[in-house]
Structures are given as structure tokens and as C-alpha cells.
Amino acid sequence: MHRSLQGDPKEVTLVKKASGWYAHISCELPDTPKVEPTDAIAVDVGTTHYLTTSEGEKEDNPRWYRQAEGLLRKHSKDLSRKKKGSQRWQKQKHKLALHHERTTNKRKDFIGKLVYKLYHHQKNNVLVAEDLRVSNMIQNKHLSKSISDASWVTFFEWCASIAERDGLHFHQVDPKNTSQTCSACGQKSQKKLSLAIRTFNCQFCGTSLDRDHNAALNILLRAACAHRGERWVTNLTETRNLSVDR
Ligand SMILES: [Zn+2]
């Protein structure tokens, strides 16, 4: 065991993976009381970058991402060339399964560190993201690649489970038009902004912002509408009023 157990172990599941057998031990932990929500950040997930925050910071797509896609294609192609059931086919099948397992591990590692950074390193106790379930999944800009598909689902699950474990807050909002609306004046762009246009220029108030930064701000504002009265919303209003005064 590489980690000591927390809480009372309730269930053990044996799992066979390509690299060997693993025992999953589920433990019951007492509920962590929620901290007072004081500092919030929102993220917009995308394809040019992994995500952009409402502070305008960007997290790059991990480099192994594309490499893993390429290797996946190569291993699958090699498998299709071998006689089904043969020893070489079995060997290749194992290679492909190992590749899947390694990719899943790298993804989990990357996402775990990223979520930890957003909450703990940056000292936020409220994290807001879009709710992809309510958007049109097929036309969605994020769902063009198999690895990214699984990645967003895992990312949102981690955001929720770390919030649960550490007593933090995670909110998801309807992402409709978040990239088409001006975060400064709230007006919706008259012409649909194509994905190629990376800067949002508001024709009403003249605001010019990085496209994903603008979307992340809209995501934050949507959550703020739903959580009026919480301290982070009050802080946010104060910050925005201060920046207007300047
Ligand atoms: Zn505007």
C-alpha cells in the first residue's frame, strides 16, 4: 500500500488492469463542514488551452495529450493488421490496453494537480465551471477528441469531489452564450463569434478581452447571480465597482 487509509474501510474491490491486479479500498469519511465561501475563481475549458481562469490565467494542454492520441492510432492500426486470436494479436492487444491505462493515469495525475492548484495553491474556496450536461454535447467545441471527452468529465468530477472532501464549494452553470456575451456590459454579440476569433470585442461598450477570459468571467458572474448574499459575491461586486471607478 502506498498510502495510509483514512476513515473506516467499507468495501474492497479487486480490479484487473493491463499492468496487473489492484485492490480498491473504499473508506467512509466523516462529513467535512463547509468553509465560508470567500474567494472564487471560474474556469472556461477549451481546446486551444486546457482552461482559462476568470483571472485571465491559462493552463496549457499537457504535451502528452497529442502524443497519446497518435500512439493510440498507431497501436489500434497495428492490432487491426494482426490475425484475430493469434499470439501476436494477443500481445498487441495487451500493448493497446497498457497504453490506455498509462494515458488514464497521466490524465488523473494532471487533473488532480490542477484542481489542487486552483483550490489550494491559489487559495480559492469557491470554484465555478460550466455544466456540460446542459449544453449541446454533439456540437460542443470540447468534445471533438476522445481523450478530451473523458478529460472534461474527469476534471469536473475531481472539482466536485475535492470540494466535498475539503469542505469547499463547487458550482456549475449553464454555459450557453458565455463566449458570445460581453462580461463588462452583459450585451450579447450580434454576430456569432467563430472559434477562430480569439479576442472578444464588444460593439456596445468597446471592451476588448481574450475570448476565453471573457467566457470565464461570464461563468463567474452567472454563479454570482445564483449565490447572491454570499461573501465572495460581495467581494466580487466591490472589486468590479473599484475597477469601474478607475
Ligand atoms: Zn460590452
pLDDT in tens, 168-198: 999 999 988 999 999 999 999 988 888 888 9
Residue 1 is assigned to a structural domain of this protein = no
The rounded Å distance from CA 189 to ligand 1 centre is: 9
Domain hosting 199: range is 8-245
Q: Compute the distance between CA of residue 50 and CA of residue 1 in angstroms, rounded to an integer.
A: 32
The rounded Å distance from CA 212 to ligand 1 centre is: 15
Residue 166 is assigned to a structural domain of this protein = yes
Residue 63 is assigned to a structural domain of this protein = yes
Active-site residues, by number, are: 44, 130, 212
The rounded Å distance from CA 134 to ligand 1 centre is: 25
Residue 53 is assigned to a structural domain of this protein = yes
Residue 77 is assigned to a structural domain of this protein = yes
**pTM for this predicted structure:** 0.85
pLDDT at residue 127, as a whole number: 98
**Grid coordinates belonging to 96:** 493497446
Which residues does the chain have with pLDDT short of 70? Answer: 1-2, 133-150, 242-246
Residue 40 is assigned to a structural domain of this protein = yes
Measure CA 63 to chain center: 16
Residue 20 is assigned to a structural domain of this protein = yes
**Grid coordinates belonging to 94:** 495487451
Asked if residue 15 lies in contact with residue 24, where contact means CB atoms within 8 angstroms, the answer is: yes
What are the residue ranges of helices labelled H in 137-245?
A: 146-166, 211-226, 231-245
Residue 2 is assigned to a structural domain of this protein = no
Number of domains in the chain: 1
| Per-residue DSSP letter, 120 | I
